[in-house]
Amino acid sequence: SKEKDPCCLILLSQGRCTDAIRIALHAAGIRFEDARLPRDEWKEFKATSDNCVYKSGLPVMTVEGKKYSQSAAHLRYAGRKGNLYSDDLCVN
């Protein structure tokens, strides 16, 4: 289940816990734009953005024009789209 159009992952240039998202997207075969904002640009962007999803912080992922926050949700998205979850809930 490959993405036809890449999603966009916006994150801080020195963000934490975003490596897992990038690795999951690669493993799932999902093309994505890796947009990194320097911390000083992020403060200005957040203050001037009308989109409330940015108020909760980065990373933000855009998929088919919709913006999603929360890194755990990004990981679930990659896992489901890339069929990375096991069908067996009790995998040893």
Give the model's confidence band at 3: pLDDT under 50 very low, under 70 low, under 90 confident, else very high. very low
Give burial (CB, 10 Å; 0-12/13-18/19+) of 46: middle
Are the C-beta atoms of 37 and 45 separated by less than 8 Å?
yes
> What is the reported pTM?
0.77
pLDDT in tens, 25-64: 999 999 999 888 888 888 788 888 777 777 777 888 889 8
Of 73, 52, 55, 50, the closest CA to residue 63 belongs to 73
Token reading at 47: 């203050």
Residues contacting residue 74 through CB under 8 Å, at least 6 positions apart: 9, 21, 24, 59, 61, 68
Beta strands in 13-84 (DSSP E): 32-37, 60-63, 66-69
